[in-house]
Amino acid sequence: MFVRRLTTIAAGAAAAVLLTSTAASAHFCYFSNPNPNGDAGRAGSQGFVSFGVIAAAEGFCPAGAQVLADAVGVTTSTLINAHGVMAGPTGGNKAISHLDFAALEAAIPAALAACE
């Protein structure tokens, strides 16, 4: 029991560091209200990855990924620009948003619990 709890805590700490450290270089931007045709094109590109794929790459199960997505106000299918920075929202442009890493970090314990 203690080893499993320690493993869960270590995994959560590693995920928090990894998810927040990569944010400094990419900001993890996404389109707030995407055009379906635009999303279809972005889905086939190398620059965009769905939130669910990113969460799975960090070791979260689908239920945990959903907890994280809910916490930051996206869906697991929201396409995230994980390779660069998009402009906005400046001058009233609300089309581009950035993941809320404070909310994401706060949701990690619940996401890990959902994966147990």
Domain count, the chain: 1
What residues make up the domain containing 91? 2-114
The per-residue pLDDT for 110 is 97
Number of residues in the chain: 116
Query: According to the model, what pLDDT value does residue 4 have?
Result: 55
Predicted pLDDT of residue 64: 97
Paired tokens of 37? 């045709």
pLDDT tens digit at each of 116 positions of the chain: 544 554 555 455 555 544 544 444 456 888 888 888 888 888 877 788 999 999 999 999 999 999 999 999 999 999 998 776 665 555 555 678 888 999 999 999 999 999 99
Q: What is the pLDDT of residue 9?
A: 53
Residue 110, amino acid: A
Amino acid letter for position 55: A
User: Interhelix angle for 101-114 vs 62-72, to 10°?
Assistant: 150
- Category of 91 on φ-ψ map: left (φ > 0), alpha (ψ -120 to 50) or beta: left
Identity of the amino acid at 15: A
**CB 15 within 8 Å of CB 108:** yes
Identify the pLDDT of residue 107.
97
pLDDT number for residue 97: 84
Pair type for strands 48-50 and 29-31: unpaired
| pTM attached to this predicted model | 0.70
pLDDT score recorded for residue 74: 95
